[in-house]
Structures are given as C-alpha cells and as structure tokens.
Amino acid sequence: MTGVSLKHITVAVDGSAFAQHGLDFAIDLAQKYDSEVTVLGVAPLVPLYVSSTEPWVPTEVPESEARHYRSVVEESVAKAKAAGLRGVQGVTLEGVIVDEMIAHVESHPTDLLIIGSRGLSTAKRLLLGSVSDAVSHHVKCPVLIVRGPPA
C-alpha cells in the first residue's frame, strides 16, 4: 500500500465559522503532510432581477464585497503562516462561486480541496443547491467537506 501524498491543499474561505473550521483542518493536514496551501476566496456575483424580458442578469461584485473577500483571504493566509506553514498563498476571485472554484482547481491542480459546509437544511439545499455539493461533483481531485464548526 502506498502512502497518501498531499503536496498541495486548496482550502475555500468566505469568512464564515464553517469555512474557518475548514481552514483549521487544512492547517492541521498541511502540518502533518508538509503541504503547500492555497487559500481561495470567491467574491460572488449576485444575479439581479431586472425585467420580464431579461429576468436575471449578472451584476458586478460591489467593491465592498471584493474588499471583504480579499481581507478574509489575507487573514487566513496570515493564520496559516503563523501556524508555521510554508508555501502559503492566497487567491481571491470574483464571479459565480461554483464556476470560479472549479475553474481554479482545473487550472491549478491540487491534491485535496477543503470546503466548509454551511449546514443548509434539506429543504433549503433542494431549493438553493449547495456550493460544496456542486463543486464536489465537478472537480477531479478529492474533496473534504468539513461539516460545521466545533461546538
């Protein structure tokens, strides 16, 4: 049996407690496997209802949102570096969260993608979908979905 190789871990962050818990997992695994880490944040485009002829159009990400996600990524990178990790980098993108995460992992292969779960109820998940569910079905690397922050 061969050993697990985790040379590179990508972790998605959004400022939530769930994502913070995922970052903690990433830091712990990176320490154990001497992995490089990419902290990935995506400032979301929010579709806007305009009219009945063009009901949904993408908008630009407000600068305040983009600034928020850059800050979350910077703080997460600082936390990972403070924990003694080497080769930590931060990436902040703007767009449709699922699409941007999938495109990033495709163009920057990783050995493991870690995503925090928002813990949506079954009814909400059926109506709204889930970023972690959608991403896990479309990337070619292993995905660790970290359920809920510690109590």
Q: Where are the domains of the chain?
A: 18-147
**Residue among 56, 59, 72 nearest 13 (CA):** 72
Q: What is the pTM of this model?
A: 0.85
Cβ contacts of 56 within 8 Å, gap of 6 or more:
47, 48, 49, 50
CATH superfamily of 18-147: HUPs (3.40.50.620)
pLDDT tens by residue, 29-80: 999 999 999 999 999 886 665 666 665 655 778 788 899 999 999 999 999 9
95: its two tokens: 């767009």
Q: Which of 102, 76, 99, 85 is nearest to 13 (CA)?
A: 76
Q: Which residue has the higher pLDDT, 116 or 71?
A: 71
Give the count of beta carbons closer than 10 Å to the beta carbon of residue 6: 19
98 vs 127: CA distance, rounded Å: 16
> CB of 45 within 8 A of CB of 65?
no
